[in-house]
Amino acid sequence: MTTVVTDNCQRCRFTDCVTVCPVACFHGDDEMLYIDPEVCIDCSACIPKCPVEAIYEEPIPEDKQRWIAINADRAPRLPVISKKQEPLPGAEERKKQLGFE
């Protein structure tokens, strides 16, 4: 089982997901968040929290598969994000562009 953050998080970074993570497995850079697969327990709590549906659990769709390696590679090298932060500037606009009201 794997749970991953994908491209919809880029330029949004709403960080609602981190508030319900029971094990603090989210890490972040300036662009987006990533899940450390070694720490994540696949509980799915974060998935409905994302306003742009950026988080996927298995079965992960074909076009999102590449994010498995990206999350695993980047998360351990970045700081843990366990508190809600301000979204990136323009996040609300991007959310609309992505088709979420």
Partner 1 sequence: MSNIGTAPNPVRAAIVGSGPSGFYAAEALLASEQTVLVDMFERLPSPFGLVRSGVAPDHPKLKQPIRVYQQIAESPRFRFLGNVTVGRDLSVEELKGCYHVVVFACGAETDRTLGISGEHLAGSHAATEFVGWYNGHPDYRDLVFDLSHETAVVIGQGNVAVDVCRILCKTADELRHTDIAGYALEILAQSRIRDVYMIGRRGPAQAKFTHPELRELGELADCDPILAPHDLELNRASREELADRRNRAISKSYEVLQAFTARPAPTRHRRCHIQFLKSPTELKGEKKLERVVLARNRLEGEPSRQVACETGEVEELACGVLFRSIGYRGVAIPGVPFDDHRGVFPNQDGRIVDGQNVVPGLYVTGWIKRGPTGIIGTNREDSVATVNSLLADLPNLPAGPKTGADGLIALLQSRAVRVVSYADWQKIDAAEVRRGETAGKPREKFARVEEMLEVLGVCRT
Q: Which residues bind partner 1 (CB under 8 A)?
A: 1, 19-24, 41-48, 57
| Min CB(78)–partner 1 separation in Å | 19
Asked if residue 27 lies in contact with residue 82, where contact means CB atoms within 8 angstroms, the answer is no
Q: Measured from the CB atom, is 66 or 84 closer to partner 1? A: 84
Q: Measured from the CB atom, is 56 or 67 closer to partner 1? A: 56
Q: Measured from the CB atom, is 47 or 78 closer to partner 1? A: 47
SS3 87: coil
| Min CB(23)–partner 1 separation in Å | 6
